[in-house]
Amino acid sequence: MKKAIPAPKARRASQAALNEPIARIVVDAYGEDEQLWAFRQAFEDDVAVPTGAFVIGEPVSVVEFDYDGNERRGLTAKCRRPDGREYVVAASDVVFPHGTDGRKYVAAYRKWMGLAPFPPKMTGASPIRTGHLLELAVLWVRQQTAHCRFLDSGRTVTLRSRRVWVPGEIVRVRPRKEWSEGNPHLSAEIECTSIDAAALALPPLRLEDRGTWDPRNEYWGEGTIARWAKAIIARGPRQAFEMEQVLPGYDFADPECDPIGVSNDLKDSGDIEGSYRMLMELCRADLRCLDAHAHLGNLAFDRMPDDAVRHYEVGFRIGELSLPAGFDGVLPWGHLDNRPFLRCMHGFGLCLWRLGQFPEAARIFKRMLWLNPSDNQGIRLLIDDVRAKRSWEDRRGE
């Protein structure tokens, strides 16, 4: 199985550095089967999932490593495409970004197998023409680098430019240079960005029927009924629904592994960068992870409302695609999977208000009250101030 392949001279030093982790992983394992189990355990212990990677140039989120006892097959990796579909590939075929634990462990595993530790660079004709405008969907962002998908072909590329992006945005770029580092890279000038959820061509989130919502079963407070509630009560019973929640990497058998909860724990401990990276990985795994958009907005809300509003709006617009035209049902907060969508709406409305866009904020808040009349997020306490065009700063100063 392990036939040595000479390494290029330029890579011999980096390959030699892999001897130590290989020896450490297989030190107490005898025979290929035990050593494969040892590698599987090392991946499970040291490579956090979900994590972003590439398979044949396609961005994926690796959600699991495994070994089923088949020595010829070796280690496998379960991968999730941006559209949510999953498939299994040989772990040796996964390409992780530079500087990540995944890249180091795959290189060690490939060398143990007798393969070149680092796969050859991709070749082939490029469809990119320098100077011509291209449209890309942003999947994942880190500093001034973004992993993107071409809207017209589904091909992926790593984009570098001096601009802040938001996952789920559409970016129109004018390429300057393309090169390869295991996956295609592109340097380009950003012409403009926009939010167009329909252009992302994502599968809609399911809506599950949860029976009839009846305003007579709600508590509307003591005394006079508020103006906002009268029209909702007069409308009468409506159908209640629960929106599908997409949460890559979540194991329902182990609620403590909730990646949103882990991200919040990182933020609360002061590791803002770690929290940000985890949320970005969720977006790369599936742009329909609405809670990732909501919590990315939360991270930016205090200091960068112009960025926060884009995170919230992307999540809101993606969720909105699942609501039929003229939707008149309710999405109660009490059905837990509705909460990511309602969080995106809440953050979007607050940012619009904070940025002085009063009519837009009032429309979002009114719609929230119709979607979730129990108003667990306290919109009823804000909407009159927004309609009166009272500034965010004045309200906060009370």
| pLDDT tens per residue, range 208-238 | 999 999 999 888 877 788 888 999 999 999 9
Kindly report which listed range (1-5, 39-43, 95-99, 199-203) carries the lowest average pLDDT score: 1-5
Tell me the two tokens of residue 113: 């197998």
SS3 86: strand
Tell me the two tokens of residue 53: 């990677």
Confidence band (pLDDT; 50, 70, 90) for 378?
very high
Asked whether the beta carbons of 6 and 12 are under 8 A apart, the reply is: no
- pLDDT cut 90: percent of the chain above it: 46
Mean pLDDT of 361-370: 96
pLDDT of 300 > 90? The answer is: yes
Comparing 60 with 123, which gets the higher pLDDT?
60
- CA-closest candidate to residue 136, choices 146, 144, 145, 126: 146
Backbone angles phi, psi at 167, to 5 degrees: -55, 135
Chain segment 269-285, per-residue pLDDT in tens? 999 999 999 999 899 88
pLDDT at 13 (0 to 100):
42
SS3 81: coil
Tell me the two tokens of residue 46: 């040291």
Where do the CATH 1.25.40.10 domains begin and end in the chain?
Answer: 207-246+286-396
pLDDT at 328 (0 to 100):
94
| DSSP strand pairing (156-160 vs 145-150) | antiparallel
pLDDT at 348 (0 to 100):
98
Kindly report which listed range (13-27, 116-130, 226-240, 307-321) carries the lowest average pLDDT score: 116-130
Mean pLDDT of 89-115: 85
Tell me the two tokens of residue 97: 């970004």
pLDDT of 345 > 90? The answer is: yes
- pLDDT cut 70: percent of the chain above it: 88
pLDDT at 31 (0 to 100):
85
pLDDT at 131 (0 to 100):
58
Tell me the two tokens of residue 71: 């020595």
Confidence band (pLDDT; 50, 70, 90) for 398?
low
Tell me the two tokens of residue 275: 């929290």
Q: What 8-state DSSP symbol labels residue 354?
A: H
Where do the CATH 2.40.50.140 domains begin and end in the chain?
Answer: 134-194
**What one-character-per-residue DSSP string does 14-73 give?**
HHHTTHHHHHHHHTT--HHHHHHHHHHHHHHHHS-SSEEEEETTEEEEEEEEE--S-TTT
Kindly report which listed range (52-61, 118-127, 387-396) carries the lowest average pLDDT score: 118-127
Kindly report which listed range (7-16, 138-147, 236-245) carries the lowest average pLDDT score: 7-16
Mean pLDDT of 11-35: 77
Chain segment 309-338, per-residue pLDDT in tens? 999 999 999 999 999 989 999 999 999 999
pLDDT at 4 (0 to 100):
37
Q: Which CATH number fits domain 134-194: 3.90.650.10, 3.30.300.30, 1.10.10.10, 2.40.50.140?
A: 2.40.50.140
C-beta atoms surrounding 142 within 10 Å: 15
| Contacts (Cβ under 8 Å, ≥6 apart) of 236 | 214, 215
Average pLDDT, the chain: 85
- The helix-helix angle for 101-113 and 31-46 (nearest 10°) equals 170
Please state whether the predicted TM-score (pTM) of the whole model is above 0.75.
Answer: no
pLDDT of 103 > 50? The answer is: yes
Q: Which CATH number fits domain 207-246+286-396: 1.25.40.10, 3.40.605.10, 1.10.10.10, 1.10.8.50?
A: 1.25.40.10
